[in-house]
Structure 1
Amino acid sequence: MDRLPNVLGLLVVLLVGIGAVVVPDPATPVGTDAPAAEFSAARAAAHIDVVAATPRPLASPGHTAAREYLVRTLDDLGWDTTVQEGIGWYSPTDSDTRRGARLRNIVATLPGTDPTGTVVLAAHYDTVTASPGASDDGIGVGTALEAARALTDGDRPRNNVVVLLTDGEERGLLGAQLFTAEPPPFPGPMVVLNHEARGNAGTPLTFRISSPNADLIRILSQAPGALADSFTQTAFEALPNDTDFRRFDEAGLHGYDTAIAGGSAYYHTPLDTPDRLSRSSLQQMGDVALATARTLTATDLTALDAGTDIVGTTPWGLLRYPRWVEVALTLALAVAVAALAVVRIRRRDASAGRIAGAAAVALVAAVAAGAAAFLPWWLSQRAVPGLGSVPIGEPYRPGFYQLAAVVAAIGVLTAVYVAVRRRLGAPAFAVGALVVVTVVALAGLPFLGIATPLVLPALPAVLGVLVAEALPQRWSRWRVVAVVAGLLPAALVTVPAVLASFDAGLTFGAPLAGAFVAVLFAVLLPLTAPLLPGEGAVPIAVTTVFAVVACTLLGGYTNRDGATAPRQEEVFYSLDADRGQAVWASPDRPRSDWSAALLTEFPAPLPTQFPWRPDTSLAHGPAPVAPLAPPRVEVLDDTPVDGGRVLQVRLSSPRGAPTLGLWVDGATVREATVDGAPVDPGANFGFLFTTENPDGIEVRLDLDASGPAEEVEVRVADVTGDLTVVPGYSPPPGKVVVGPTVVVVRTVGR
């Protein structure tokens, strides 16, 4: 058999796939000498250097300094700048403790000349504890400020423009909740361009768009370098992350959610510094934001409700078409695969039973490929806990682990195919694999964009095979040409999809990459089947194991301690003022000798020391007792009312902690007010509240306390983030502590 045409065809397909990844150039950062009407990464970075000079968690000095700088900057641009103050509350799904804060959103307005609505450039300016937040969300802040400056240059836009820099995003999207809870500053539709980051590099992707989105995607597609993908909108829901976009969308606003996700090991850490933020990513995000905002400011925003949903994908830019086309293409794939099955059965290359058996095997192989892709990094973290970042468990240099995931998936698929090919037959397996792709695509039809990354590669591939089957057998080379032509869309779509999957991180992205490898393997089988060995599944499996182990070891070597940015630790400190006892704790197991010396006890829940995490198992160990004053509770009122009691207290922190907490045991809370705002009491009442007020907060509780008064206990706590207050504490050598926490707790009986 002449295999040369198949080899050449496979090379063509692979080269096209690689080209789809490497040919698009990243944006070139523009300097401060760029024309005033253009977006300049250098000018935007100058803002980021200021706001990300220090961490800016709620109510911290850095938070206040950043807000003052941002207000001053927008004022200097001539925008009407105000600070929206209020209180926001968030109820986590994994805890009964409510999270609240007194917030200060920055809202700057440039009125339009003949407005039909308002365009909002949004980002959040707060950070998590100890993180400078140059990317999260310095990149969004810098993008909004520089785009606002460019929009100020020249003629005033038709529609109103608002720069919205929200507060409290890291505490539960609180600032966006506050903004949407009040009447908008202008009547008419609002379109929000939200900017975010889950890393410090990578290509900005608009991964969520409000519905209906036909006009929004059309407008976005006019921006050079814009990328969007409807598939990510559903996939994002599986990640433990969210953005302010959710609150905007819930409020019925139009909007885009755009973010970068490369370099995610730096996310939410002290290492998220301005010097580590990709200027190329900043430039591309800014270019897209400015171009899209300019188009929107000249658009009749009252017409945005027209149109049907459109699917956007990104092989080399935006590909958009109506939702009904996705349905039609998926049904066409089902028909084409059925036709191919009929052809194979009529020619006696396969039987219905063998095709069904092959489909079952192919499904198992695809699942196994995803699991195999997940294993290298999972095992690496178990062997060396410090390899991954604390917030999301990512290495600084993921390349070799990504390669290991892809090799593992390919090896599993190849070994399974070789093992069953003689029994089921190559034609039956090829059709069975396509049946699996088709069934998954059909199952995904209820969800926007899920079928598209399966249909776009599979349908042309099947049509190419059908054309090849219609050609005479003697035209063997032309038959290969037909198959290769049908595979080119698969190369353009699926190869980039494999790599893009890793933007979700190795934990979530590696299995997804393995699934896309399985799709590519399935559509390539008509071309690659003659090139694969007829037997020898065991040698293939052994070779795969060696290759995966080699890639994994190289990943460990390139990420070895001292060869990358500092490794990360997570440590909490809690002082029980009633008992005079203190503990170190962490939701993570020890990552080094340093943390192992602190966390000497097996993981267990510590509800007394950490009341907002009563069921979380924490590694822990005894700690020195720091001379920290406990939170102060001043009883303002304690009156029997309606079979219960109204208890009003002032809660404050002598040590100046901005976050205060209170939990009630022994009574049901019927109503509650914190700092003048009502809060849902829920089944088990407790809260953490952050404020800049040094006098603390007033708490009013309506208690259903039918039993003896002395049985009601109120547990209080205050929280800071400076571990150096602990006697004898010294930072881990060559490492950084992520999310440092210092808690002082006490119990007050009433």
Structure 2
Amino acid sequence: MTQSQRLARPPIQFILGLLALLVAFCFKSVVTAPPNVSETLSTTGFDTKVAIDRLAWILGDERPHPVDSPANDLVRERILSEIKTLGYTPEVRDDFACRGSKRFGGMSCARVRNILFRAGPSGGGAALIAAHYDSVPAGPGASDDGAGVAATLEIAARLTGRKLTKPVIFLLTDGEEVGLLGASSFVRKDPWAKDVALAINMEARGTGGPAIMFQTSAPNGRDIAALTAKPVRTIANSMAADIYRTLPNDTDATEFLAKGYDVINFAFIAPVARYHTPLDNLANLEPASVGHMGGAALVALEGHLAGKPTANALEADVIYSDVLGRFILVMPKAVGYGLLGFGLLGALFAYVRSGPKGVVRALIAPLAALLVAGGVGFGALWLINQVRVESQWWFATPMAGRLLVYSSGLLGALIALWLCRGISPTRVLAGAWIWVTGLFLGLSIVSPGSMILAAPAAGLAGAGFLLTGMKIDRRLLQVIFGLASALVLLIFILPALDFAEVGLGFGLGWAFGAVGALLMLCTLAPIWQPETKLAGASLLTLLAIGGAFAWAAFTPAYSPEIPRPLNVQHWHGDGGDHAWVLGPGEEAAPTSMQALAPFKLASLRNSDSKRVHAPAPVLSGTPMPARIEVLAETKTAEGRTLKLRVLAPGADEVILSVPKEAQVRMLNGGSDGQAGGLTFDAPKALGLRCVGRSCVQWDLEVKLGPTPAPWITRAVLRKLGPEGDAIVKARPPWASPVQGGDVRVTNQSQKL
């Protein structure tokens, strides 16, 4: 075999590098798995077994316990009993609370009963340990947020008998699931709210996975100082916190941030398909996840208690990231900019000194990798969505999605290397790092926290590039520093990608693949030879893409463990029409249900969107519609001010849909006329909601336009009558109620 033939074959280290990269991207969740309960106990003192045993007693028969329901009363009484057993004196704050949201265009109300107790001295500077104890109507809430309740009580148990230097307030909110009502009530009205300096909130959006610290206040110096005062195992990075601020998602921490507290917010989020379903039960709750979250929260509390008062000190704003979930690296933003800038200058230095050949191609190649990976991934995902009727198939086959998008990333990296044939490997590697450092410097404009993911690796790469100017073996330096900086880059970015996949799904999978292509190019370039033929490797990558496509496109999307969310609603309208309505979403009815009724996606009376529905029999019993009484009306030149009373006898929930034509300019809820007040700059459609037993009579005040408009009232009863037995029985085992579950809805139109 000639020398040229040997070079034409990919060296073994290159082939192994390809395989290692694909394995690392597809199985990256292994390195972020939560510690076992024994490790958590030995390192933090948090006893997971005791915490879950306590939760099992609190949940009892695991019935759903939404706000202001008899089941929630029982859960609350058992929580109070446990708190007293721990030696504390709990207090219950009873409040009819409303919270408005301009973002979503509406308001939610309910009677909430927050549970509070405290330890340590009186006064300010307190740490708030918070979770919520209500569940959605469809599920028992063992994870969301029974896990937070269990962790809160176990943290309280760890403090029993200790002499504390700062106050600790424990808050178990009610009504979180219907709009953060308990947290809103606490920050607006509770006398203890003024004492809080740091809020540590615990949540769940699944039944397992690692504990993720995904939200802080801004600036965040005190938050991160408390979290990292002692070694802590959690998943966290400042880019995720930046992104979360832009999302429409909310937890109780939203209210704590608005109050001005420092905030540390934890959650575990896998698998999302069990979120707000009957599968959110004790059997599926992963003990290691509860321990991971509770242990990290306990460490953060201990850090706050040990910290010195800094009330008048200027708070730093830092960037941070976990390192394989083992510890958290923290650095000032200036250091992040410095390392990225140093890496960019080093890459430019090496790029310029790499001779005249390939000046343009080596700089275009990384862009080609991004475009190929993103384009192939986008096209493949689009085709799968055309083949499948299921909108979120990736929850059932996440590994198929990973293999698809990261094989696309690998293809992009290989094409970039093919474009660079005959060019100096140093220039190819420098070109890739110019793009990496430039990309993250650009991202820092909108997300300064993103710098932490690339800055350490950029600093290492920059040092390697500058050393190539020395009279030593440049090829050896390239391999050593190139692989070392690529490894550091992967260590920081892979856990962040895993978090993004679980939280966002593969709707943005093409973007994950594009990022992967750039990372893979940085990893492969140090071990690549310019004369190496890449056709065989590219063919294998195309086969991997094809296999992943078939896996994702044709594997059953749902199972009893990862179910399709599917509620059955029985609607009765004021026009005498009756309908079965399926949701959420617009997926077709399962065959077994279609056999009972001719479901179709079409417009529905008293609905502002198309819904999957079919004719239904008459509601059993006497429908009890909600009605609106006008208690007082004041007319002005601008419009009208109405004091309203909504009456919904026997309903578990009442919903008002207000059309844009009503021209609502101001909205207040609650008997005090102040709860959840909202003003609107322009007319918009609104949704108003009151949940629980207290909503049989609901008072509102509204300022609106002069012309009456039709409001839709919906009285919701959380159970189906006997006429629903057959349709519920026909729901397949791979489908499950979600959120509000199966309900009867009585609709009525009323002009106001």
Q: TM-score, normalised by structure 2?
A: 0.85
The question of whether the paired residues in 2 share the 8 Å contact of 1:13 and 1:488 is answered with: no
* Most deviating of 297-306 and 556-565: 556-565
Q: CA, structure 1 residues 44+36, in 2 after alignment: closer, same or farther (shift >3 Å)?
A: farther
Per the TM alignment, residue 570 of structure 1 is displaced from its structure 2 partner at its CA by 3.9
CA distance in 2, matches of 1:434, 1:724: 64
- 1:464: which partner in 2? 464
The question of whether the paired residues in 1 share the 8 Å contact of 2:403 and 2:544 is answered with: no
The question of whether the paired residues in 1 share the 8 Å contact of 2:454 and 2:492 is answered with: no
Q: 1:143 corresponds to which letter in structure 2? A: A
- 2:410: which partner in 1? 410
Q: 1:744 corresponds to which letter in structure 2? A: T
Per the TM alignment, residue 733 of structure 1 is displaced from its structure 2 partner at its CA by 3.0
Per the TM alignment, residue 313 of structure 1 is displaced from its structure 2 partner at its CA by 0.9
- Partner residue of 2:338 out of 328, 345, 357: 328
Q: Does 1:244 align with 2:252?
A: yes
- 2:750: which partner in 1? 748
CA distance in 2, matches of 1:36, 1:326: 30
- 2:328: which partner in 1? 318
Q: 2:498 corresponds to which letter in structure 1? A: L
How far does the alpha carbon of each residue in 1:265-287 deviate from its partner, in whole angstroms, 9 at most, with x for none?
Answer: 21122211111111111111111
CA distance in 2, matches of 1:597, 1:609: 26
CA distance in 1, matches of 2:744, 2:151: 34
* Most deviating of 230-239 and 594-603: 594-603
CA distance in 2, matches of 1:376, 1:534: 26
How far does the alpha carbon of each residue in 1:529-576 deviate from its partner, in whole angstroms, 9 at most, with x for none?
Answer: 32884353xx66654343123234445777565574544424443210
Aligned residue for 1:143, secondary structure, equals helix
Question: Is there any run of 5+ residues in structure 2 with no aligned partner, and where?
Answer: none
CA distance in 2, matches of 1:94, 1:594: 39
- 1:519: which partner in 2? 518
- 1:716: which partner in 2? 713
Q: CA, structure 1 residues 661+365, in 2 after alignment: closer, same or farther (shift >3 Å)?
A: same
Q: 1:343 corresponds to which letter in structure 2? A: R
Q: CA, structure 1 residues 397+567, in 2 after alignment: closer, same or farther (shift >3 Å)?
A: same
Q: CA, structure 1 residues 122+533, in 2 after alignment: closer, same or farther (shift >3 Å)?
A: same
Per the TM alignment, residue 44 of structure 1 is displaced from its structure 2 partner at its CA by 1.4
Aligned residue for 2:533, secondary structure, equals coil
- Partner residue of 1:655 out of 650, 664, 669: 650
Question: Is there any run of 5+ residues in structure 1 with no aligned partner, and where?
Answer: none
Per the TM alignment, residue 293 of structure 1 is displaced from its structure 2 partner at its CA by 1.4
- 1:282: which partner in 2? 290
- Partner residue of 1:620 out of 606, 613, 617: 613
Q: Does 1:233 align with 2:231?
A: no
CA distance in 2, matches of 1:256, 1:387: 33
Alignment of 1:60-459 (within 5 A): 60-91=69-100, 96-110=105-119, 112-113=120-121, 117-152=125-160, 154-182=161-189, 184-185=191-192, 188-221=195-228, 222-237=230-245, 239-303=247-311, 305-316=313-324, 317-344=327-354, 347-351=355-359, 353-355=360-362, 358-359=363-364, 361-370=365-374, 372-373=376-377, 379-380=383-384, 382-386=386-390, 388=392, 394-396=394-396, 398-418=398-418, 420-422=419-421, 429-446=428-445, 447-459=447-459
- 1:692: which partner in 2? 693
- 1:578: which partner in 2? 575
CA distance in 1, matches of 2:303, 2:251: 24
Q: CA, structure 1 residues 714+508, in 2 after alignment: closer, same or farther (shift >3 Å)?
A: closer
The question of whether the paired residues in 1 share the 8 Å contact of 2:374 and 2:409 is answered with: yes
CA distance in 2, matches of 1:17, 1:670: 54
Per the TM alignment, residue 472 of structure 1 is displaced from its structure 2 partner at its CA by 4.1
The question of whether the paired residues in 2 share the 8 Å contact of 1:192 and 1:253 is answered with: yes
CA distance in 2, matches of 1:571, 1:170: 20
Per the TM alignment, residue 132 of structure 1 is displaced from its structure 2 partner at its CA by 1.6
Q: 2:187 corresponds to which letter in structure 1? A: T
The question of whether the paired residues in 2 share the 8 Å contact of 1:354 and 1:428 is answered with: no
Q: Does 1:507 align with 2:506?
A: yes
- 1:633: which partner in 2? 627
Q: 2:449 corresponds to which letter in structure 1? A: G
The question of whether the paired residues in 2 share the 8 Å contact of 1:480 and 1:527 is answered with: yes
What root-mean-square deviation, in Å, do the aligned CA atoms of Structure 1 and Structure 2 show? 3.8
Q: Percent same amino acid at aligned positions?
A: 24
CA distance in 1, matches of 2:597, 2:298: 49
CA distance in 1, matches of 2:690, 2:237: 37
Per the TM alignment, residue 524 of structure 1 is displaced from its structure 2 partner at its CA by 2.0
The question of whether the paired residues in 2 share the 8 Å contact of 1:230 and 1:450 is answered with: yes
Per the TM alignment, residue 298 of structure 1 is displaced from its structure 2 partner at its CA by 3.7
Q: TM-score, normalised by structure 1?
A: 0.85
Alignment of 1:662-677 (within 5 A): 663=658, 667-669=662-664, 672-676=667-671, 677=673
Q: CA, structure 1 residues 265+648, in 2 after alignment: closer, same or farther (shift >3 Å)?
A: same
Alignment of 1:14-29 (within 5 A): 22=30, 26-29=34-37
Q: CA, structure 1 residues 485+690, in 2 after alignment: closer, same or farther (shift >3 Å)?
A: closer
Per the TM alignment, residue 256 of structure 1 is displaced from its structure 2 partner at its CA by 0.3
Q: CA, structure 1 residues 381+275, in 2 after alignment: closer, same or farther (shift >3 Å)?
A: farther
Q: 2:279 corresponds to which letter in structure 1? A: L
The question of whether the paired residues in 2 share the 8 Å contact of 1:50 and 1:66 is answered with: no
Per the TM alignment, residue 745 of structure 1 is displaced from its structure 2 partner at its CA by 0.9
Per the TM alignment, residue 325 of structure 1 is displaced from its structure 2 partner at its CA by 0.5
The question of whether the paired residues in 2 share the 8 Å contact of 1:714 and 1:748 is answered with: yes
Aligned residue for 1:275, secondary structure, equals coil
CA distance in 1, matches of 2:538, 2:42: 58
Q: 2:255 corresponds to which letter in structure 1? A: R
CA distance in 1, matches of 2:553, 2:570: 31
CA distance in 2, matches of 1:713, 1:229: 48
The question of whether the paired residues in 1 share the 8 Å contact of 2:656 and 2:711 is answered with: no
The question of whether the paired residues in 1 share the 8 Å contact of 2:366 and 2:518 is answered with: no
Aligned residue for 1:308, secondary structure, equals coil
The question of whether the paired residues in 2 share the 8 Å contact of 1:603 and 1:618 is answered with: yes
* Most deviating of 15-24 and 509-518: 15-24
Per the TM alignment, residue 510 of structure 1 is displaced from its structure 2 partner at its CA by 3.1
How far does the alpha carbon of each residue in 1:311-369 deviate from its partner, in whole angstroms, 9 at most, with x for none?
Answer: 1111232111112111111221221122122112xx22333x445xx33x523531442
CA distance in 2, matches of 1:413, 1:724: 59
How far does the alpha carbon of each residue in 1:393-424 deviate from its partner, in whole angstroms, 9 at most, with x for none?
Answer: 65245233322322222123323542x33498
The question of whether the paired residues in 2 share the 8 Å contact of 1:215 and 1:304 is answered with: no
Q: 1:318 corresponds to which letter in structure 2? A: I
Aligned residue for 1:318, secondary structure, equals strand
- 2:541: which partner in 1? 544
Q: CA, structure 1 residues 459+660, in 2 after alignment: closer, same or farther (shift >3 Å)?
A: same
Aligned residue for 1:203, secondary structure, equals coil
Per the TM alignment, residue 24 of structure 1 is displaced from its structure 2 partner at its CA by 7.0
Size of the alignment, in residue pairs?
Answer: 724
Aligned residue for 1:121, secondary structure, equals strand
CA distance in 1, matches of 2:475, 2:657: 77
Aligned residue for 2:699, secondary structure, equals strand
